Amino acid sequence: MPHFLKSRTRPAFIALVSGIAALFPFPVFSGEEILNQTYEDTNKSFIRVTSTFGGSKTAGYAPYRIVIRNNTNRDRIWNLQFVSKETYGSLGYRANSRYEVSAGSEIQSDFFVPVSPLLNSSSAYQKIEISATSPGLPRLSREHSSNSSRNWPSIALSENLANRSLVSLDKKKDAMGYGGNSFGDTYNTKLLPREWIGYTCLDGFLIDEETWAKLESAQRQAIVEWIRLGGQVEYFSTDMDFDLKHPTLVKLLDSTGNYDRLDLGLGTVRLRRWDGDSLPESLVPTYRSSIPVRNAHISKGFGNSWLLYHNFGEKKFNLLLTFSILFVFAMIVGPVNLFWFAKPGRRHRLFITTPIISLAAVIVMGIIIYFQDGIGGKGARIAVAELQSNEDEMRMYVSQEQFSRTGVIMKAGFEAEEEFEISPVDIPDSPWNPISSRSRVLGNLEFSGKSYQGDFFTSRSEQAYTIRTVRPTRSRIEVRKPAEEGSPPELFSSLAFPVSDFIFRTSSDETYSSPPGQQIDPGNTIPLKKIEGTSHAALVKDLCKELSIHNKVLSLRLRPGQFFATATQPGDLLIKTHAGISWQNETVILTGTVDSGQPGEEALEAVDKSGEEESQ
């Protein structure tokens, strides 16, 4: 961008772009084919790219359905690239996928495109560029854009709910002063993802009972996993007798007896009754206050009040040292070089002395940076891991937050052991923060399977990320003997790691804890003692205080049958990113519900199969 747009004319330029976006929003509807191309002279070979949830989102991963037909007489490879970025802003995402299509065959695949968040920018106008290439065939390129509202949640609703309601909901939303696109995007049930990560671009998911009944079990399971990580689902029924057709949801409804709201992990399912015709306009102000906007949390939830960042300590910019080095270099390469090393009559020496002086300055700077910042980096990370060991799930849901400060990094990207959702967050301004309002020079992040390349961990910078993943697991806490009058329950640890500070609340609202500081190794009974009063609440609050989402985690404590603990070897549970970062402070808060018995054989086979697929 020209330099003049970075100064006084920048606000005017942003206003102009935003105004054009408002007049010509180029909306994209669910199920619309963004790219549909039949190649000439290839016997009608084609490629189709379809958006599942409509236009550009403001965070998370957006699902796209890829269909490629190869009618040629030889095998072909298609390479697709998705670029997501703000119209004005330096943070861009690039994701690549590769498809091998045999001669005379067709493939269908879902691809989850990481969407760059709106970090502290005046513009809410985003676009996703799609390009497809195959050797011997013409390059294809398409673009779709949206003007998103920063303060309005990203909502998807079923066609049954949208058919007679979306127009009136849009009018109500506009009347309330929220700009951007529609109240929500409609979706086609057949296109819904079968993996949780495909729902992370949403803040709210609205579905009616008829549509829910049509979902495949894998789709329902993916939605439940997304809820556990913070998703918000609104389930609309015309009948008082809700039939969610999912074992986990049915069991929880039966156990709580609450047929209006069901809390799952960090997320919520709200059960709503409707007339089967249209949705009331009163939902618009309700959703603005009840559905959290994840992009708002990413851009505003990690300020000075984020204790993980605050407790790590601030690094001061040594202005005097920097000025001194530059001054000495300027004096040597200038006057000293001209009037001493390359005096008049010996100016030809400049071709030798200037490179030597510059090289020496680089070496001196490198030595200073090495002793001041070192190689690699240091950081702190914390996660809440929710363990659900019932035979219908057998999953661990990990939500991690981390902050790091780097010295000299040889490679900014990294190879991971697992796929996960990762997003940079906006931390307070500093000379080391590449996405602060004073710099905006982060560049691009590149995603390809388990490979995360680009400017994730650049040299001499600060980085903060929020990361989420779902893992299959056999770990569990078992109830060997329920609590009896005057005695605590007998709980057994079948976890794969040791824990301490164990707290458990029974269904009768009694709270028990393990002795302070005592480690509980796998394969042992958990020693418990009843806690009187509310002292346990202070302990749980202390465990969660460094999390930006500590209020959400604290809400878990209110549920009967829930336990809290800390992992004494947290490194085994935390999501691994760059190997060059030395983590000085690591914490894992383990929570979940206890298991009343052994998992069934079918569940164990499902976990084994899931683990095999993940390793492949």
Q: Cα separation of 400 and 339, whole Å? A: 59
Task: Say what the pTM is.
Answer: 0.83
Check residues 34 and 257 and name the one with the higher pLDDT: 34
pLDDT tens for 513-529 read: 899 889 999 999 999 99
107 pLDDT tier (thresholds 50, 70, 90):
very high
Residues 13 and 138 in one domain: yes
Tell me the average pLDDT across 285-314. 88
pLDDT for 22 equals 35
Strands 462-472 and 421-424: antiparallel
pLDDT tens for 558-592 read: 677 889 999 999 988 999 999 999 999 999 999 99
Residues 364 and 478 in one domain: no
5 pLDDT tier (thresholds 50, 70, 90):
very low
pLDDT for 249 equals 73
pLDDT for 304 equals 85
Residues 551 and 452 in one domain: yes
pLDDT for 207 equals 93
Residue position matching structure tokens 């949403």:
202
Lowest mean pLDDT across 63-77, 128-142, 340-354, 562-576: 340-354
Q: Say if 95 falls within a structural domain.
A: yes
Single-letter residue type at 546 = E
Supply the CATH number for residue 29's domain.
2.60.40.10
Identify the CA nearest to 448 among candidates 440, 456, 458.
Answer: 456
**What does each C-alpha distance from 175 to 95, 163, 238 come to in angstroms?**
37, 20, 29
Q: Say if 586 falls within a structural domain.
A: yes
Structural domain ending residue among the three candidates 373, 407, 438: 373
pLDDT for 17 equals 34
Per-position b or e across 90-101, b if 16+ CB within 10 A of its CB: bbbbbbbbebeb
Lowest mean pLDDT across 65-74, 422-431, 547-556, 605-614: 605-614
Sheet holding 61-70, edge to edge: 33-38, 46-51, 61-70, 105-114
Count Cβ atoms within 10 A of the Cβ of residue 118 and give its class: 0-12 exposed, 13-18 middle, 19 or more buried: buried
Examine the pLDDT at 595 and tell me if it is beyond 80: no
Tell me the average pLDDT across 476-489. 84
For 329, the domain range is 319-373
Q: Say if 114 falls within a structural domain.
A: yes
> Which residues, 6+ apart, have CB-to-CB distance to 380 below 8 Å?
308, 311, 312, 402, 403, 404, 583, 584, 585, 586
The two most distant CA atoms of the chain are separated, in Å, by: 102
Q: Which two tokens stand for residue 232?
A: 């918000």
pLDDT for 16 equals 37
Examine the pLDDT at 113 and tell me if it is beyond 90: yes
User: Residues of the chain with pLDDT > 90: what percent?
Assistant: 40
Q: Cα separation of 316 and 127, whole Å? A: 37
Residues 433 and 527 in one domain: yes
Residues 40 and 7 in one domain: yes
Q: Say if 301 falls within a structural domain.
A: no
Q: How many domains does the chain have?
A: 3
Structural domain ending residue among the three candidates 329, 346, 373: 373
β-bridge mates for residue 382, sequence order: 401, 587
> Where are any strands of DSSP class E within 209-311?
232-237, 261-264, 267-273
Residues 430 and 362 in one domain: no
Q: Cα separation of 449 and 95, whole Å? A: 9
Residues 462 and 341 in one domain: no
User: What average pLDDT is seen over the chain?
Assistant: 82
Residues 426 and 538 in one domain: yes
Half-sphere exposure of 353 (CA within 13 A, CB side): 18
Residues 99 and 57 in one domain: yes
Residues 442 and 413 in one domain: yes
Q: Which two tokens stand for residue 200?
A: 């992370």
Q: Say if 415 falls within a structural domain.
A: yes
Residue position matching structure tokens 């029974």:
506
SS (H, E, C) 358-427: HHHHHHHHHHHHHHHHCECEEEEEEEEEEEECCCCCCEEEEEEEEEEEECECCCCCEECCCCCEEEECCC
Q: Say if 84 falls within a structural domain.
A: yes
Residues 459 and 576 in one domain: yes
Instruction: Give the DSSP H/E element, type plus range, for residue 501.
Output: strand 499-505
Q: Cα separation of 82 and 93, whole Å? A: 8
Q: Say if 290 falls within a structural domain.
A: no
Check residues 581 and 487 and name the one with the higher pLDDT: 581
Q: Say if 314 falls within a structural domain.
A: no
Q: Which two tokens stand for residue 24?
A: 């010509």
Residues 411 and 520 in one domain: yes
pLDDT tens for 10-28 read: 344 334 333 433 333 333 4
